[in-house]
Every structure is written in structure tokens, then in C-alpha cells.
Structure 1
Amino acid sequence: MPSPSRYRQIAGNLLAPRNAQPFTYSDGPIEDYLAEVVANTPDCGTLSPALAAAIKDWPTHYHLGYNRSFLLRPFGNLLRGKSVLELGAGCGALTRYLGETAARVTALEGSPKRAGIAASRCRDLASVTVINDTIQDLELDETFDVVTLIGVLEYARAFGPETEKPEAALLAVAKSFLKPGGHLLLAIENQLGLKYFAGSAEDHIGLPFFGVHDLYTGKSPVTFGRKELLGLLKDAGFAFIEQFVPLPDYKLPITVLCPACFDGETAAPDITPFILNSYRADCQPASEHCFSLEAATSAIVRNGLALDLCNSLFFAASPEPGARACDPALCVAHYGTQRAPEYVKETLFIRENGAVRVRRQYLEPGLPGREYGPVANVLEDEPYLPYPLYHDSLVPLINTPGWNVQALALWAKGWVDYLRGKAMGGQLPGKYLDATPLNCAVAPQGEYIFFDLEWETRDGQTVPLQYVVFRGLFQSLAWFANVAPPADRTPTRTLVLVASVMGRLGIPLEPEMLEECIRREQEFQAQATRVLQSADAFNSQSLTVRLLA
């Protein structure tokens, strides 16, 4: 319990020191906006549609986006019925999820403004207590099953006490609050993450190559590479350390790779497609990368460097040997990009009987709304297909200087011919709505096997072949952060390029049909995400061509 001699009650679930000292960290005016939004939103749950609707830029997405919780969802069994100490609660995005999951949560936040927002966001959760205090001054007379340090260790030098080893001191404090056999969950950006080599700005200083060039000072925020951070945890007395990989990073992940992916067992999914798929979900992309993250990924995975070059480091550590933090059979937890709350799902890749099984479920099965809209959402379990994706072969093609429309048409021909074979009178059965190259595996004998066909038309309605080819090509091309310079006179506006490729394939996309395809996709995306994209948004999309090939 919090020390009554040190803390007084500020509000229902908010405590603060009786003699509080100034705390300088702030995100500025955005915190006023967050405070107003949270205070005036009746439903502040993790999947709150009202909070999602208040997102307007990167800071609000970071604080209000429900995908913050995806980082911790694989640890549901570790958290349920347990006590949790959250060191560095911020504005309460993870606090809210912890409060909905764990039996009891004590959330610490040094900033008075942020602590107030976190408390307000959890005001209806009796299990949550927010304390406005610094980590080094925290006074509690209890220990916890789980302690979290999410995006906090990097500030130990800037805001911690004057010590020779501030990171070691912070880890010692965190460990001191753990029960025997408890777990520390620690997430931080990777100093040597692949995107930082490619030119993304350092996450705290905001300058490209700042971390890669190791320019941190004694009072600046600091990140670490994998080996260095593992050493800090071992020196702090953590005997059992497991690494998880949040993709694209720990801040707004869509996927979490678990230790089972890296233990050498044959029954494990290929991690390459998950890494590739995550790049387009990065909410802080560089304005320009000096090389293709997508093209570099396969070699990185083949050479066993994924754990070292991931963008974020995420460890579950325990003082007790062998204390696993999650189900050892869980290989991957995948959640996907922003969706309407009723469609947010969890896809688990789990080892079962020497193979990998894919299991899918809604995070909130009881939410209404799925019965409406032009398409139906169908979740089904299925076996994992250990085959390359059709889309994989596009990665080297479009990253080779001099690619052109003809090359793209040759790449797409096998997929399009398959769909043609299923069409009658230019119409496909509705189950092929989502049959894109990203959902197509290629078996050893060249057979195409589609998976995760979760969207289909309602009531047996057919769907135009042109539309399925349009959305498959558009998705496949928009998937790339950047591409190599194409041949002269090759269009880079995505719509023009798609129409050109379809023309080469004998599926002309006349202006009227193009408008129809855009209208259908607008309706589809509005249903799935509650965001209506304008026609201009489609028209303005272009491939980003690297200056360096």
C-alpha cells in the first residue's frame, strides 16, 4: 500500500506526495487536449470508439490508440488475477488495459498533468490507483507479481538521481518491488534498430543517425542495443530473460513475436512476412530511407539477426530461473492495423501436435455492428501454411532499378489467371473479395492457396473481377515504403500504375470502372475502419522512389 505519511488523496483514485517537487517532463499543449478529451468521454475503455475518434495526429494516436494495448495482450494469463506496478504510466493508455485485465494496478507517473489524465482515464476502475511521484521517491510497503517499465528506462539519466549508473539504479528499484518469481516487462527503442540505420530519426532526440552514431550524453535520453541491454538486466539480478519482438515497435505494435519463434523448433512460423507487413504500420516513418527495409529483411532473418536489429527491444525478466512470462506454445500474436472496435481481432499462431495452428477471435465478441455494411467479416481457425507468399516475389522486383509496367504485369499474371479461372461473366464468388497477393501462399508444386479470407460479400453476392484485381494490385504496391527508380516513363502514381498493369493483363480499367472500384473500396474501408477515405486520397497516392537505388 502507498505510505500514508508520504501521500495524500488528490482525487478518487489519484495520490500525490504531501510535499511534491517540480517535474519538468511534458508533451506541452497536447496534454491539455488529452485531459479534456478523457474528462468528457464517458467510455474510456481500451477499445473506446470515442477516444479513437479524438485521434488527430501522432501524439494523440500514441496516447489514445487502442493498439498501445497490443504490446501486453500476449501476457493476459500473466496479468489476470495478479498485482501490477506500472512505473511510468504516462497518460494511462496501458494503465487502462492493465486495469481491465489485472486484479490490482498501482500506476506511478512523475508528471502531475499526466498522472491526472491517467487517473481520469481509469476513474471507473476500482482496481487502479495512480500515484503522482518519481520512481526514486516511491514509498510502497508491498511487492507485485508484475512490474512494467515501458518507455521509461531511456530517461533514467535525464530524470533519475545523480548516480554513476542511473539505468542500473532504476532496474534495481524495479526489481525491489517484485515478488519472488515475479516478472519485469521492459520495453525500449533499439539503438541499433534497422530503421535507424536506414535514416529514421532517433526516437527521443529527433535526429537521423543520432543513436547509431552513439551521440548520447550523460543527461540525455539514451537507448541501447540488444547485447548491452541484456547485460544490464543480468547485472541487475534477473536470472531468466525472454525477448519478445513488437512490430513495428513497442509504441503502436500490430504484432508481437514470442520466444517460440526463435527457439530452433521446426514447428514455428516464418517471421519474415510479419516483419515485412509491419513496416507500413509504422506511424513515425522516415521522410526518406537510404535503403529498402523490405528488401533487407529476408537476409536479416536468414542470418539470425532479427533479434538484434528489431526496432524495439522488449524483455520479460524474472529473478527466478525458468519463470516463463507467457505460454511457451505461443509463437506469434497478431492484431493488425487500425479497425473499428467491433472488428479488432487477435490472431494467435500456436504450436499444437507438432504443427502450427492459426486461431482467431474478436477482442470484444459482444460489440454490435458486424451485422451491417456491404461486406461480412468471418473469422475462422486454420492450419498455418509454411509456404512463401505470392507477394514475396514482388519485393526484389520493385527494388531492382529499371523495373517497369511489363515486369509488374508478368509478376501478377499467375494470380490474375487463377482469379480468372474462378470468375464467370467477369464476376467472382464473394468469398474471393480478399483474395489478394498478400493473402496467397505458393505451395511447392506452384499451387495457390489463399488464407485469412475474412471479408466476403453478403448474401451470396458476386464481386467484379476488376475490383478484386484493382484492390490486390493497389494494396501490393502501397505496401512499400519506397522503391528503386523505375524505367523511364514508368508511372509512379499508384492508380495510374495499377491501371497500366491491368491494361497489360487484358483487364482494362476504364474511368467509369475506376470510379466504381474506388467507391467500393471507400465503402469497404469505411465499414472496417470507420474512416471514409476521400477519392483524392486514392488519387494522390504515389510510390516513393529512393534517390539511392
Structure 2
Amino acid sequence: MSSQESYLQASGYIFHKDSAIWVRSGYTGISYSDGDDAELRIAGIIGRASDITVFSLELRRHCTDWPSLYHLSGTRANILRPFAAILRGDILEIGAGCGAITRYLGESGANTLALEGSPRRAAIVRSRTRDLENVTVLAEKFDQFRCDHQFDLITLIGVLEYANLFTSGENPALVMLQRVRSLLKPEGKLIIAIENQLGLKYFAGAPEDHLGQPMYGIEGRYRKDQPQTFGRTVLADLLEQAGFATVEFLAPFPDYKLPISILTEEGLSSKKFDGAALAWQSVRRDPQLPRSMSFSLELAWPEIFKNRLALDVANSFLVAVSPSQQKVLKPGILGYHYSTDRIPRYCKETVFEHIDENAIGVNYLILGSRKCEGETNPIINFKCPEKVIYAEGSPLSLEFIKIVTRDGWAIEEVGAFISRYIYLLGLIASQRGRVIDVAQVQEKLPGDFFDMVPQNIIVNLEEKPIPIDTEWSLKGDIELGWLLFRSLLLALGSGIDFGKNSKGQSFSRRAFIKSALSAAGYPLTDEDFSRFIALESVIQEHVSGHAAREFLIIWSEEQLLTYSVAERYGQVNQLNELIDECNRRISRLHELAMERDVLVHTILSSRSWRITRPFRAIARVLRSNQRAK
């Protein structure tokens, strides 16, 4: 019997052999669920899977909707990766869900007690960690959790916002935090992940995550019987009141649920580090983001960072706290970026860290197994350096976004952008002592240019291009046409909203790519387009483990989503007018109600009302007698 099981048994909990979870006698669970169909489906998927690891391709292939993505995606674990060094000793995970985070904690080697209020979900957690002896699962309400043991680390990932529903007291969130504080060792750590009540996407019209209504959190309309999120200052005050001496905020992007980038306070405020680039490039990686927003988040984030507001309006918070004065994060760390939507051997972590006052280092770490299991690819090579120097400047891809997201853009402008991109490729080649011919789409470039797409080119203040993150290369040469094709393919894959074209044109993705390249002087034939889709499919399938060709063919024929900026603001104005009209009606109804109250008061105070009182009493008696018959 493990130490975890020993103190559970000593606290009166019973081991349920059928589900392999611990539970107290008579416990029925909490009223929280993703729905019977969703949870039974997830239970079946995990139960039948032969690979249940964090990076399981088998589970990832079942991510077909939001519940399955949330509970099965390996990207969930990224929220704790910045703290990998302290995931040791005894860990209490409060609100384990269906085990996505539990699995990562278990794989880290920590003695993990996963507490989940729903017995069915607790059984799913046990199924997800069935091969990990260092994980114990308990079905229990946190506010009724009986335990004298103290822990080295406790997690509240997506849990604190539910304190109103499952914790009693005048201030349930504070009560929960105080209880957590009592369960920590003196040098213990608490990790919290929660949505920001004042997150930028909510200002742009995204609905409040738990209640589904836009502006609900922004306007502070939470009731005491509802989930509730907090802004940074309120959350920091709660933590201080709960007795935590050290509080360190981080900002996960696009939010804490499926984070691909995580920035520290130092990274959010650094003048030499472009944290905004990680923020805006993550925007369309949020599967819960509405199709259309009231403004462009991609363009807003750089301005937010310039004005030092990034932490206050981050969509979510990741908070590391401790009752001691000891900080959790290593000084000098600016941020983390994760590439985990790949087959395991290509998954990696990128860490940005100050080397000294004038330089920033970029450190890479392969997260999955480096074993290739005998598999080779005749087309592509993967090479991940251990460390490089950070390149200051702006991503070339931002120039593309600024062109196509405004009303009145022209395809000729996109053509000019492509010409500029090709010019910069020539500069990169000359920096390497090479000369490239870019006269036609059939011209060949060296294979190491394969990954030099606009999002991987930084343009510094001297207008010099600096390639970054070029981890992929072809074993042979690459056609210029294919490189241009995949550059636009990746740009369109970000899902940005296009402004209205100057000529009122609408484009499918295929038509846009062909028109843009033609405007730059590099026309593609339909045969070229189909050939490049086939080539790109082979690469994507090798990197991600997913079949891609059919998707790319269908995707390329879909229309680009165009959303006029003027129309967007027009809709906002219309909504404001409707709100004003509703407010006027409410005011009028209020006036009528007051007039009615005055009239009623006048009648009740009148002499005639007093004189007729006996007659009304007689009438009531007569009506009562009539009903009795």
C-alpha cells in the first residue's frame, strides 16, 4: 500500500475495486458533468486505448469536438510544463476532470493524489493513469476532503472559478484558498490556472466561458450561485488574504486550457523581447473563439503590449504561489512556447531566457522520445538546436495580416508582399554566400529554405531578415512555387478575418493563393497547385501523424471568411441602438410603475375608499359563502 493509500485509509476512505478509486461510504458525487454522452464516450475511448500517454496519437485522433479535445489533448499538459522542476514529492490535484493533467503529473514521477468530485470522472482518471502506480484517485468533494497530510504542491487548474458552487462561506473562493493553504507544507507551492474576468477576447465579444453570455464577466454580473472568474488585482488580493506570501503571475496564450505560449511577468514587460508576437500568433489556436470578433485580436495585442497592459487583459492567468518567500520561477525566464500538435518525437519546448542585460537566449528541449522507431522519411529532415540567440524585430507575417485585415485591401498589395518576401529570401541566401534565381516558380532553392516561411522570418530595425525556428529542411531542393504556396497556406491557416476587398471580390483559398502569386508575377497552374497540395500533405502527415491530403483539398476550395471592418462597427452600433431602445423602454415602464404606485396610494388614501370599506368587507363574506356552496 502506497503512502497516499495509507493516509486515505486512515481518513476513513474505502477502495472501490471495480473502478480502482477511493471513495467514502455513501458518497454520490457532485452535480457537475460534461454530459452523459460525452463522458461515456471519453471513458470508452480511454478504456479501449492501448496508448494513454500524454502524447498519445491514438487519443489525439479521437479529438473531434470540444469535450474530447479538452480531455484528451496532450496540449493540456503545457500549462504545468514551466514548473517541471518542482513536480516532485506529494502532489494534490484538485478537480482532476478526466485525467489529462493527472496523466502528466503521473508521468513526471510525482506521488499524485487526484481528487475529483464526480465518481464517474474519477473512474476515467484512474483509467487514464491505470499504468502509473504513483497516482491515486479519490472521488470526493474538496470541502469535505478529510486529510491530515500536507503536500509539496497543489494544483487548481480550472477549479477556483467553481468555488461558489461547491464551497460554503461568505467568500467561497477565499475559503477554498485558505483550505488549500492549510494542506500545503510550509515551503509548498500552489499552481492556479483560471480565466481572466477582464481578458481581451471577452472585450472583443467572446462569451463568458461558463455562462455563455458575452460581456457577462466584463460587466460583473456574476451571482453567488454561479461560477465566477476574477481580474488580476482581485485575484492577487484573495491570495494575499488567504495567507500566501509569494505570488507570481504568468499569462498563457491563447488561454490556460490549450496553451501554446506562456509568458512570465518579466517577459510581458520586457522591451527587448517581443512577447506580443507569441500572443497574436496564438489567437486562432483557441477553439472556443467565436468566428467573428468586434475587433482584430491579432492587431490589438501588439498595442496592448506597448502600453504594458498585457497581464491585466491576458485571457487567462497561470499563478504560482507559496506561503513562503521562496519564488517558484527562475529569474530571467521570459516565456515558453510549445509545439505539441505533432508526433511525439517532434514535440518540443522553447524557453526564452535572459543571458545578460543585452542578450536573450532561446533554449530548445525535445519533449517526446527521440527514438524514430526505425521510421525514416525520404523527403524531410528534422533538426532541433539546443540553443540560439534571440532575434529582435517583427515577424514578416504580421505585414501580411495588416494588409488583408483592413477594408479596401487589394490583391496587388498581397503580390507586393510576396515580392518583398522573395527579396528577403535573396538577402538570406546572400548572407549564407549563395545566389538564388527567383525568376520562375519552377526555380529551385536549397532544401534548408523549406521552413523559411514569413512567420519564421524576423525583420529587424535595419530591415535585415533573420530566419528563426527553421527546424525542418528538405533532403533535396525545394521549388520556389512550393515555398510560396506553403507560405500562403500557413498564413491562411491561421484563420484570420479578411477585410472587404477593394473590388468587392470574394476568394476561395485556392483562388486567393493563385491570384496573389499571379499578382507577384509567379502564376501557378492547376497542375502546380494539385502537386503542391500532394507534397504538402506528405509533410503534414509525417509531422502530425494525421492524414492531410483530403482535408487540404477540401479546405483549399472553401471561401475565405470576409468581415468588413465598417460592417463590424455598424453591427456594434446597431446593437448599441437596440440597447438604448431597450433602456428607454425600461425607463418608460419604470415611470408607468411609479405613476401606478402614486395612483394606488391616492385611491387607498381617499375618503371614498375609507367610507366604502364596510361594503367591501361584506362583499368578501358573501363571495366566500357563495364559494362554500
Per the TM superposition, whether the score is higher than 0.5 is yes
The C-alpha deviation readout for 1:397-428, integer Å capped at 9, x for no partner, is 22322011011122232112344652476011
For 2:185 and 2:20, locate their aligned partners in 1 and report how far apart those are by CA, in whole Å: 24
Match of 2:74 in 1: 66
For 1:349 and 1:423, locate their aligned partners in 2 and report how far apart those are by CA, in whole Å: 35
Match of 1:159 in 2: 166
- Of 279, 291, 308, 2:295 maps to 291
Contact 1:55 1:61 in 2 (8 A): yes
Letter in 2 for 1:199: G
Q: Are residues 531 and 42 of structure 1, via their aligned partners in 2, closer, same or farther at CA, if it must alter by over 3 Å?
A: closer
Match of 2:133 in 1: 126
Structure with more relative contact order (C-alpha pairs < 8 Å, separation 6 or more)? 1
Comparing 436-445 with 235-244, which one deviates more in the overlay? 436-445
Comparing 364-373 with 43-52, which one deviates more in the overlay? 364-373
Superposed displacement of residue 174, structure 1: 0.9
Matched, 1:422 2:403: no
Superposed displacement of residue 480, structure 1: 4.5
Q: Are residues 57 and 113 of structure 1, via their aligned partners in 2, closer, same or farther at CA, if it must alter by over 3 Å?
A: same
Aligned residue for 2:554, secondary structure, equals helix
Matched, 1:481 2:496: yes
Matched, 1:452 2:459: no
Match of 2:585 in 1: none
Letter in 1 for 2:204: A
Match of 2:568 in 1: 548
Superposed displacement of residue 347, structure 1: 1.2
Match of 1:175 in 2: 181
The size of the alignment, in residue pairs, is: 542
Gaps of 5+ in 1: none
For 2:522 and 2:75, locate their aligned partners in 1 and report how far apart those are by CA, in whole Å: 38
For 1:479 and 1:42, locate their aligned partners in 2 and report how far apart those are by CA, in whole Å: 33
For 1:396 and 1:451, locate their aligned partners in 2 and report how far apart those are by CA, in whole Å: 21
Match of 1:147 in 2: 154
Match of 1:275 in 2: 279
Gaps of 5+ in 2: 1-6, 427-434, 570-629
Letter in 2 for 1:154: E
Letter in 1 for 2:205: G
Match of 1:35 in 2: 43
Superposed displacement of residue 3, structure 1: 4.7
Match of 1:504 in 2: 519
Matched, 1:538 2:545: no
For 2:364 and 2:557, locate their aligned partners in 1 and report how far apart those are by CA, in whole Å: 34
Q: Are residues 233 and 263 of structure 1, via their aligned partners in 2, closer, same or farther at CA, if it must alter by over 3 Å?
A: same
Aligned residue for 2:218, secondary structure, equals coil
Comparing 448-457 with 389-398, which one deviates more in the overlay? 389-398
Superposed displacement of residue 368, structure 1: 2.2
Matched, 1:213 2:230: no
Q: Are residues 493 and 56 of structure 1, via their aligned partners in 2, closer, same or farther at CA, if it must alter by over 3 Å?
A: same
Letter in 2 for 1:144: F
Match of 1:433 in 2: 450
Contact 1:226 1:308 in 2 (8 A): yes
For 1:541 and 1:283, locate their aligned partners in 2 and report how far apart those are by CA, in whole Å: 19
- Of 334, 338, 342, 2:337 maps to 334
Matched, 1:204 2:207: no
Structure number with greater Rg is 2
Match of 1:77 in 2: 85
For 1:5 and 1:449, locate their aligned partners in 2 and report how far apart those are by CA, in whole Å: 60
Matched, 1:411 2:414: no
- Of 194, 203, 207, 1:188 maps to 194
1:354-433 alignment to 2 at 5 Å? 354=357, 355-368=359-372, 371-372=376-377, 374-380=379-385, 381-419=387-425, 422-423=436-437, 426-433=443-450
Contact 2:165 2:226 in 1 (8 A): yes
Comparing 417-426 with 300-309, which one deviates more in the overlay? 417-426
- Of 322, 327, 337, 1:324 maps to 327
TM-score when normalising by structure 2 = 0.83
Contact 2:383 2:471 in 1 (8 A): yes
For 1:246 and 1:257, locate their aligned partners in 2 and report how far apart those are by CA, in whole Å: 6
Contact 1:84 1:102 in 2 (8 A): no
Comparing 88-97 with 34-43, which one deviates more in the overlay? 34-43
Comparing 60-69 with 384-393, which one deviates more in the overlay? 384-393
Match of 1:307 in 2: 311
TM-score when normalising by structure 1 = 0.95
Q: Are residues 507 and 25 of structure 1, via their aligned partners in 2, closer, same or farther at CA, if it must alter by over 3 Å?
A: same
Comparing 491-500 with 169-178, which one deviates more in the overlay? 491-500
Superposed displacement of residue 299, structure 1: 1.0
For 2:141 and 2:339, locate their aligned partners in 1 and report how far apart those are by CA, in whole Å: 35
Greater than 3 Å deviation, 4+ residue runs: 418-421, 489-492
Contact 1:404 1:490 in 2 (8 A): no
Matched, 1:346 2:349: yes
Superposed displacement of residue 367, structure 1: 3.5
Contact 1:495 1:539 in 2 (8 A): yes
Aligned residue for 1:522, secondary structure, equals helix
Give the RMSD, CA atoms, in angstroms.
1.8
For 2:177 and 2:171, locate their aligned partners in 1 and report how far apart those are by CA, in whole Å: 10
Contact 2:349 2:367 in 1 (8 A): yes
Matched, 1:495 2:495: no
For 2:225 and 2:89, locate their aligned partners in 1 and report how far apart those are by CA, in whole Å: 36
Match of 1:138 in 2: 145
For 2:20 and 2:273, locate their aligned partners in 1 and report how far apart those are by CA, in whole Å: 44
For 2:350 and 2:460, locate their aligned partners in 1 and report how far apart those are by CA, in whole Å: 22
Letter in 1 for 2:121: R
Aligned residue for 1:548, secondary structure, equals helix
- Of 24, 35, 54, 1:46 maps to 54
For 2:459 and 2:370, locate their aligned partners in 1 and report how far apart those are by CA, in whole Å: 36
Letter in 2 for 1:283: P
Structure (1/2) with the larger helix percentage: 2
Contact 1:34 1:60 in 2 (8 A): yes
